[in-house]
Amino acid sequence: MSLLDYFRSSKSKTASIAKERLQILLAHERYYRNKPSYLPQLQEELLEVIRKYVNVDQDAISVKFEQDENQETLELNIVLPESQNSKSPLEI
């Protein structure tokens, strides 16, 4: 920390911003790596269909794609809101 830095604001300390942005971005990109490219769109469309019947958040749905030597599994998880203010009851 130099004398001049002391008087300067910390606006030039952008490296920490860069690091944080990269960490968030790469976590996301690594997740979708080597997974079918249709996953994000599938998630989006599923959400639309479900919203026709229940008010759910963007975060309420998760699509997981797992791959091992023998099989590929697509796991769909929807968290329904606790209060029964849905347009109609839905069973899945």
Q: Which residues bind other proteins (CB under 8 A)?
A: 2-5, 8, 10, 12-16, 18-19, 21-23, 25-26, 29-30, 33-34
Q: How far is the CB of 79 from other proteins (least distance, A)?
A: 30
CB nearer to other proteins: pick between 32 and 87? 32
d(CA 74, CA 83): 28
Q: Which helix (H) or strand (E) holds 25?
A: helix 15-32
CB nearer to other proteins: pick between 32 and 90? 32
Query: Which among 60, 26, 25 has a CA at the least distance from the CA of 46?
Result: 60
Q: How far is the CB of 71 from other proteins (least distance, A)?
A: 18
CB nearer to other proteins: pick between 19 and 87? 19
Kindly calculate the radius of gyration of the chain based on its CA atoms and give it in whole angstroms: 21
Q: How far is the CB of 48 from other proteins (least distance, A)?
A: 30
What DSSP letter does each residue of 61-89 carry, written as one string?
EEEEEEE-SS-EEEEEEEPPPSSS-SSS-
